[in-house]
Structure 1
Amino acid sequence: MIRKIVFLLVAGIFFGGCKSKKTVTSVTAPRPEKPKEITVAHEIEKVDDGLYVMPEDTGEFLSFDIGSPEEYIATFSEIAQMEMKAYGIPASITLAQGLLESGIGNGELARKTNNHFGIKCHTGWQGDYDHHDDDEKGECFRKYNHPMYSYRDHSIFLTGRSRYAFLFDLPNDDYKEWAKGLRKAGYATDRHYPQKLIALIERHNLHKYDMAVADAGYGKGEKTQVAIARPQYASYIVQEGDTLYSLSKRYAVSVNDLKRWNYLYDNNLAVGQELTVKTESFNK
Structure 2
Amino acid sequence: MLKKIILFLLIGTLIGCGSSKPVIVTTKQPVNWKYSKTKQNNKQVKKESSSNATVTSKTMTTNEVTKAYIAQYNAVAMSNMKIYGIPASIILAQGILESGAGKGDLAMTSNNHFGIKCHNDWTGDKVYKDDDSAQECFRKYNQASESYQDHAMVLTGKKRYSNLFTLPKGDYKGWAKGLKEAGYATDPKYPEKLVNYIESYNLSQFDTKVLGKAMAKEEAKVLLNDNFDADQASLYEIQKGDTFYSVSKKFNLSVDELKQKNNLTENALSIGQKLIVK
TM-score range, shorter chain: 0.5 to 0.7
- Please point out which of 96, 110, 133 is paired with 2:93: 96
Counterparts of 2:85 and 2:97 in 1: how far apart (Å)? 20
Cα displacement string for residues 31-67 of structure 1 (whole angstroms, at most 9, x for unaligned residues): 99xxxxxxxxxxxxxxxxxxxxxxxxxxxxxxxxx96
Distance 1:82 1:117 in 2: 17
Distance in 2 between residues matched to 1:122 and 1:155, nearest whole Å: 16
**How many aligned residue pairs are there?**
154
Q: Specify which of 209, 212, 215 is matched with residue 209 of structure 2.
A: 212
- Whole-Å Cα distance in 2 between the matches of residues 83 and 197 of structure 1? 18
**2:149 matched residue in structure 1:** 152
- The secondary structure found in structure 1 opposite 2:127 is strand
Gaps of 5+ in 1: 1-30, 33-65, 217-284
Q: Deviations over 1:58-86 (max 9, x none)?
A: xxxxxxxx961000000000000001011
Distance change in 2, residues 1:67/1:113 (3 Å): farther
| Structure 2: gaps spanning 5 or more residues | 1-55, 58-62, 214-278
- Give the letter aligned to residue 202 of structure 1: E
Write the letter of the residue equivalent to 2:134.
K
Q: Which has the higher strand share?
A: 1
TM-score for both structures, normalised by structure 2? 0.53
Give the equivalent residue in structure 2 for 1:82: 79
SS in 2 for 1:140: strand
Partner of 1:106: 103
1:172 to 2:169 alignment: yes
CA distance in 2, matches of 1:130, 1:67: 29
Alpha-carbon distance in structure 1 between the residues aligned to 2:168 and 2:103? 31
RMSD (Å) for aligned C-alpha atoms: 2.0
Matched residues in 2 for 1:165 and 1:126: separation? 23
SS of alignment partner, residue 68 of structure 1: helix
Structure 1 equivalent of residue 123 of structure 2: 126
| 1:225-265 C-alpha deviation (Å, 9 max, x unpaired) | xxxxxxxxxxxxxxxxxxxxxxxxxxxxxxxxxxxxxxxxx
Structure 2 CA distance, aligned partners of 1:121 and 1:70? 29
Secondary structure class of the residue paired with 2:162: helix
Give 1:184-199 correspondences, 5 Å limit.
184-199=181-196
Partner of 1:201: 198
d(CA) in 1 for partners of 2:70 and 2:196?
15
Q: Specify the structure having the higher radius of gyration (Cα).
A: 2
Name the TM-score, length of structure 1 as normaliser: 0.52
Q: Which structure shows the higher helix fraction?
A: 2
AA of the residue aligned to 2:109: K
- CA separation in 1, counterparts of 2:103 and 2:118? 21
User: Secondary structure of the residue that 2:123 maps to in structure 1?
Assistant: coil
Q: Cα gap change, 1:90/1:108 in structure 2, threshold over 3 Å: closer, same or farther?
A: same
CA shift at 1:124, angstroms?
3.0
**What is the aligned partner in structure 1 of residue 3 from structure 2?**
none
Equivalents in 2 of 1:108, 1:160: separation in Å?
Answer: 26
Q: Distance in 1 between matches of 2:74 and 2:169?
A: 16
Question: How far 1:104 moved relative to its partner?
Answer: 0.9
List, as ranges, runs of 4+ consecutive aligned residues in structure 1 with deviation greater than 4 Å: none
Structure 2 counterpart of 1:165, which letter? S
C-alpha distance in 1, partners of 2:128/2:183? 23
Aligned to 1:37: none
Give how far 1:211 is off.
Answer: 0.4
* % identical equivalent positions: 55
